[in-house]
Amino acid sequence: MKYISSRDKNHIVSFEDAVKRGLAPNKGLYMPQEYISMGNDFWANLFDMSLPEIGYQVGKKYVGDEIPDSDFKNLCNEVLNFDIPLVQVKDNVFSLELFHGPTCAFKDVGARFMARCLGYFSQKNNEKTVILVATSGDTGSAVARGFLNVPGVDVIILYPSGKVSEIQEKQLTTNGGNITALEVNGVFDDCQRLVKTAFANFDTKNRFHLTSANSINIARLIPQSFYYYYAVAQAKDYDTAICVPSGNFGNLTGGILAWKSGLQVNKFVAATNINDTVPNYLESGIYTPKPSKQTISNAMDVGDPSNFERLDIIFDHDSKKMHQTIEGYSFTDEQTRKKMQQVRDIYGYTLDPHGAVGFLGIEKYLASNPGIKGIFLETAHPAKFLDVVKESTGVTPDLPETLQECMKKSKKSIKIDNKYEDLAQILTEKYL
Ligand SMILES: *Cc1c(COP(=O)(O)O)cnc(C)c1O
């Protein structure tokens, strides 16, 4: 499989190059040059397949021979070593629990896959790769944790001092090994600026590659298609509606790639908070990006979703075509809180605010399409949004084991000032 830029179909690269570069020239996003198609054998066996088996069968169509089959099989077994169960919440509504990974959010799947692909290429070429990530909290921990102990790769995380929650800070600063946390005396934008300055100016003297682990990396997108097949396999039903709580729309784009490969579903439902750019587009046919507004489902506070560019290409720049496959709804914080409380009180299931938006979306769709099964993606463990969950439901969710363990460890960070020289000095000392 080759990869092309969303802004230039004549820019054609290998999987390895697409993963290493992250972003294509002109800020385009990498897309597979052709859509994969899964054969009859795959569909005949799908309902009995495990998640790592699905990952291997689907993933190797994207990776081709750039990672040998036996290595790729191991890679999938390692990446997908936690379950993504489909759990019934009420009669025809099911939760696809994507939060059983090491940082308790769905971004673990993409981060781990990308990490191991980059790790494979680093080792094969006998290179060292250093990943610089600026984080406001959550994404950084999934990325860092994904790379933990991956040979050939180091991660340096920059986070704003005092601006992340205690639990987030622990997740960023207790990894050890090949992960270094820099605590920046500034805000998130400062961290991002330092990283950008390093990419523009730091001379690695060719001793190592400096890269970002950007959320638009194709190696984060591809594995986000695996669990859609697995959801349908667990539902054992090819007429299921699947609702995806969405922000940058990478998760949903993964589902759409699965659908393009032949996965039959009744409909995809994109549920957003009041950052409703895509639901508006599906209704009006006009894409109007807006500044993001703050909500309780804050991982979805995105007014100009980066993956819209990919969806727009997949559906031939035709909103009506997109609307045939994707329904879009948006919900307020008040609706979200109410739903969290109701689902807790009536069904005894604790939603996190993002999953609650997904639940609202699937309920709304099923109201006008009765008689089918509905799945919503539960993208984070409720304990990650403790305060909102407690306020809305009166229940304090138990911390999952992986978070408990990390709360017990002590924080290790290097404090730096909000200036590029501090970051450059650390890079120099460590690697030159
Ligand atoms: C990132 C994130 C989302 C949104 O996913 P996108 O791929 O950006 O649409 C939803 N929920 C949680 C918990 C997230 O971390």
The reply to whether 377 falls in a domain is: yes
Tokens of 380: 């984070």
Taking residues 27-35, report their average pLDDT.
Answer: 95
**Is 354 contained in some domain?**
yes
By the 8 A CB rule, do 105 and 98 touch?
Answer: yes
* In a domain? residue 95: yes
Atom of ligand 1 nearest to the CA of 354: 11
Note the pTM of the prediction, 2 decimals: 0.94
pLDDT number for residue 25: 85
Task: Return the CATH number at 316.
Answer: 3.40.50.1100
Centre of ligand 1 to C-alpha 300, Å, is 6
| Å from CA of 191 to ligand 1 middle | 21
Mutate-to-test residue for ligand 1 from 99, 106, 252, 253, highest number of ligand atoms within 8 A of CB = 106
pLDDT band for 164, please (50, 70, 90 cuts): confident
Residue ID of nearest Cα to ligand 1 atom 2: 299
Per-residue H/E/C for 198-247? HHHHCCCCCCCEEECCCCCCHHHHCHHHHHHHHHHHHHCCCCCEEEEECC
State the closest ligand 1 atom to the C-alpha of 139, by its place in the atom list counted from 1: 15
Closest Cα to atom 8 of ligand 1: 248
Q: Distance between CA atoms of 317 and 314, rounded to whole angstroms?
A: 8
Which ligand 1 atom sits closest to the C-alpha of 105? Answer: 13
Compute, in degrees rounded to 10, the torsion defined by CA atoms 326, 222, 196, 427.
160
Pocket of ligand 1 (CB under 6 A): 105, 107, 138, 245-251, 299-300, 354, 379-380
Phi-psi region of 343 (alpha: psi -120 to 50; beta: other; left: phi over 0): alpha
Which helix (H) or strand (E) is 416 found in, with range?
A: strand 414-417
Query: Ligand 1 centroid vs 271 CA: distance in angstroms?
Result: 11
If you measure from the C-alpha of residue 69 to the centroid of ligand 1, how many angstroms do you get, rounded to a whole number? 31
User: For 48, which DSSP code?
Assistant: G
In a domain, 335, yes or no: yes
Residue 138 has pLDDT above 80, yes or no: no
* Whether pLDDT at 123 is above 80: yes
pLDDT of residue 168: 87
In a domain, 125, yes or no: no
Instruction: Using CB atoms within 10 Å of the CB of residue 395, give its burial: 0 to 12 exposed, 13 to 18 middle, 19+ buried.
Output: middle
pLDDT tier for residue 56 given thresholds of 50, 70 and 90: very high
Dist. CA 112–CA 69, nearest whole Å: 18
Residue to substitute in 95, 107, 351 for testing ligand 1 pocket (most ligand atoms within 8 angstroms of CB): 107
Question: Do residues 171 and 408 touch, judged by C-beta distance below 8 A?
Answer: no
Place of tokens 């070593």: 81
Mutate to test the pocket of ligand 1, among 251, 360, 389 (most ligand atoms within 8 A of CB): 251
Residue whose CA is at the smallest distance from ligand 1 atom 1? 299
235 CB contacts (<8 Å, ≥6 apart)? 86, 94, 373, 375
What pLDDT does 34 receive? 97
Return the amino acid letter for 74.
N
Residues with active-site annotation:
107
Domain count, the chain: 1
Average confidence score pLDDT of the chain: 95
223 pLDDT tier (thresholds 50, 70, 90) = very high
For residue range 357-398, list pLDDT tens digits in order: 999 999 999 999 999 999 999 999 999 999 999 999 999 999
Looking from the CA of residue 302, the nearest atom of ligand 1 is 8
Summarised one tens digit per residue, pLDDT across range 13-24 is 999 999 998 989
Ligand 1 centroid – CA 276 distance (Å)? 14
- 56-59 long-range CB contacts below 8 Å, 24 or more apart? 58/225, 58/226, 58/229, 58/258, 58/261, 59/113, 59/222, 59/223, 59/226
Q: Are 116 and 140 spatial neighbours (Cβ–Cβ below 8 Å)?
A: no
Identify which of 300, 302, 309, 385 to mutate to test ligand 1's pocket (most ligand atoms within 8 A of the CB): 300
Answer yes or no: is 55 within a domain.
Answer: no
> Would you say residue 429 lies in a domain?
no
Read off the pLDDT band of 1 (50, 70, 90). Answer: very high
| Ligand 1 atom closest to Cα of residue 380 | 13
Whether 191 is covered by a domain: the verdict is no
Instruction: Give the model's pLDDT for residue 141.
Output: 87
How far is the C-alpha of 153 from the C-alpha of 77, rounded, in Å?
20
CA 346, 350, 356, 362 dihedral sign is: negative
pLDDT value of position 364: 98
Residue 110 Cα to ligand 1 middle (Å) = 11
E strands in 102-163: 129-134, 153-160
Give me the domain span that covers residue 307: 83-102+222-399
**Rounded Cα–Cα distance for residues 292 and 284 (Å):** 20
pLDDT in tens, 251-291: 999 999 999 999 999 999 999 999 999 999 999 999 999 99
Q: State the distance from the centre of ligand 1 to the C-alpha of 246, rounded, in angstroms.
A: 6
Query: How confident is the model at residue 163, as a pLDDT?
Result: 86
The residue count of the chain comes to 432
